[in-house]
Structure 1
Amino acid sequence: MIELAGIVKTYTMGEETVRALAGVDLSIARNEYVALTGPSGSGKSTLMNLLGCLDTPTEGRYLLNGSDVATMDDDALARVRNREIGFVFQSFHLLPRQTVLQNVMQPLVYRGMPHRERVQRASEALAKVGLGDRLAHRPNQLSGGQRQRVAVARALVGEPSLLLADEPTGNLDSATSRDIMALFDALHAQGQTVVIVTHEPDIAAHCHRVLRVSDGRIVSDVQQPRTAEVH
């Protein structure tokens, strides 16, 4: 589903050129469950931004479902983000004045989808994450774990090819983090492709494949079987 070949990303800072990614080759198949790890400054955030079509490479090729993302303009990238990728962020990014249902419907508004269909799809997504009884609540009426579930529902509502989560448990306590990871486990078991960016080993342990990034390169790629003892 994902093919990266020779991906290089450089930034110009004053008179200095910073090489954030130094030639990344990577394949991710449909329905994989992948953790992307590495220290701050390793390049994992840049790699995540490229996978999520939030940025484009300086060199190299990125194919997502057979389409060459590296050659797309901003409008085409926006369409890919809306239709192919679901984002879950550490800080939720919910609109405080909108209800849970309205927050989850938001990505579908940009597709021009009829209101009745938006309501149905958003209600189904919220039921899927266990919040079917919270449609009229606002974010400030929910716990942190519930808000992250809303964010997951919003990411899922467009039926994306790729669910991309950036430190999704970073603002949650350990018990709530386990609940959120159980939700990601269940989504993967239902066929969803999931990539989680994390620096926490216990979060990475849920994933079947762990990629470690250092100095702009993937320095290890480990397959690990899922066990019932993961916490």
Structure 2
Amino acid sequence: MKYLVLLSVILIAACTSTSDRLKEAESLYKLALENKDPSLARVALCQIMLIDSNIPAYQDSLARLYIASSNFETGLRYAEKVCKNGPCENILKENMAAAYQQLGKNDEAEKIIKGLIADSKDNKYLFQQLLIYFNAGKTTSFDSLSSAMLQQIEIDSTMAKTIVPIVAPSSGGDQMVPIKAAVYFLIGNNALNTTRDINKGVEYMQLSLKEFAPFEMPRYVLQQVEQLMAQQGR
């Protein structure tokens, strides 16, 4: 009887200890979020996973943190576990698609994006699909979808108001850009990098700037083209 009582005390202490450690790790994670410290957040989430690896919300957050820090394979491993065991939020699916693209797994990325298009009807995912076609070098699919998107933008006010993130080379981070300007930019980029059509590339870069004057990326590309042409003219 004495041993049973002792065992019960040990078990209660262990449970309390685990509960306390989980609360401490959760407090650390909350502090990291308040201070916008991704490194500390990742440490806190790893501690939480060591204590209890079956909390989907924290698995989701850890997956997105790893992907954001370019640790794509680890991020995908956590993300796939979340999607397998329960609800999978759209933001996590977006991150998964981006990670697959970075790993060169465009078919997996396209499968996720097509699912998001079907489920949400959100036009921003059409641009993501166009980006996948560009990265994969699927010229026919790229030309078909970009043409269809530009036509739809002219008659669909909701689509015309859609904005998408594009890397901002001058200010850093992402710049939110109207989808029409973004499609023009991607067509120009495809012409320059895939078909090597400089005239078409420059034309569409200029169209994207006409559509959205603060657009950093086409301005940067045009500067690069100008420098290249100057070097070749020497």
**What TM-score, normalized to structure 1?**
0.28
> Which structure shows the higher helix fraction?
2
> Which structure shows the higher strand fraction?
1
Asked which structure has the greater CA Rg, the reply is 2
RCO higher in structure (CA 8 A, sep ≥6): 1
